[in-house]
With several copies, the nearest count.
Chain A
Amino acid sequence: MLFEVTSERLDPERLVNHVRKDESGAVILFFGDVRNNSEGRRVLYLEYDAYPQMAEKVMRQLAEEVMARWPLTDVAIQHRTGRLEIGDTSLLVAVSSPHRKEAFESCHHLVDRFKEVVPIWKKEVWEGGEVWIEGEPVEHS
């Protein structure tokens, strides 16, 4: 397991190599990337704040939660802080398991839970304004 909050560019290859084991047939890697728009606003960049010590602790608790529920081989999570530009990756979640179904379900669940409880916050900056986002916005699909 690997849990990191860092101001550096995230490292997908390192996460995948970390979770990959000889008995894992499936690895899922989720990238949360900075989009160029939010509720109709053209976003210029994002700024992430975090409580790193606690965030890493909560990430570990979430990982233990999913490893108890699904037969996984490993989990790794990285989140970036500071200023992020459009297309940058803010969140990486990697999950490995013998079979693909568990990998998909548990990775999706991990990302959902991450956004509910890990103490990290983003500020959206657009032309002429900025706002700290508080709570996850409702999805419009």
Chain B
Amino acid sequence: MKATVRLFARLSELAGSREIELELGEGLSAGEAYRLLCTRYPDMAAYAGTVMYAVNAEYVLPEYPLRDGDELALIPPVSGGAHAV
């Protein structure tokens, strides 16, 4: 099955891309997909304790099983709003 992984901020810089198509084994979880990406982009492993997961624009737990066509987003700690306010 296929999933699209969306990357933002530093994660997209590490991958050199904002969107990656992944070919995955059936029932692979969001967290497993992230670890798979870490084998391609080892610097992403620094986010192991802090990255959050969203599937189809909703936060999910790392155990969430992906389905064909899902959009998985890797969410590093957010920092919207103004500057240190």
Is A–B contact present in the complex under a CB 8 A cutoff? yes
Interface residues of A (CB under 8 A from B): 25-26, 31-35, 38-39, 43, 46, 48-51, 53-55, 57-58, 79, 89-91, 98-100, 111, 114-124, 132-137, 139
A135 contact set on B, CB distance < 8 A: 50, 77-79
Complex CA–CA separation, A48 to B8 (angstroms) = 10
Which among B50, B54, B57, B85 has the highest number of chain A CB atoms within 10 Å? B85
- A32-B81, A53-B57, A54-B58 are known; give 6 further A-B pairs, CB within 8 A: A34-B82, A79-B81, A90-B80, A132-B76, A133-B79, A135-B78
Chain A facing B: main interface SS: mixed
A-B pairs with beta carbons under 8 Å apart, 24 shown: A25-B84, A34-B83, A35-B83, A38-B84, A43-B83, A49-B9, A50-B8, A50-B80, A51-B57, A57-B58, A89-B82, A90-B82, A91-B80, A98-B85, A114-B81, A115-B81, A118-B78, A118-B80, A119-B54, A119-B78, A120-B78, A132-B9, A132-B79, A134-B79
Measured as residues with beta carbon below 8 angstroms from the partner, the interface class of chain B is 20 to 34
- B12 at the binding interface (Cβ < 8 Å): yes
Given contacts A51-B54, A54-B73, contact A25 B79 (CB under 8 A): no
Question: Which of B50, B73, B76 has the largest count of A CB atoms less than 10 A from its CB?
Answer: B76
**Complex contacts, B12 vs chain A, CB 8 Å:** 49
A116 cross-chain contacts in B, Cβ below 8 A = 78
Nearest-neighbor residue (CB-CB) of A123 within chain B: B9
A51-B82 in contact given A119-B73, A134-B77 (Cβ < 8 Å): no
Distance, CA A69 to CA B54, complexed state (A):
26
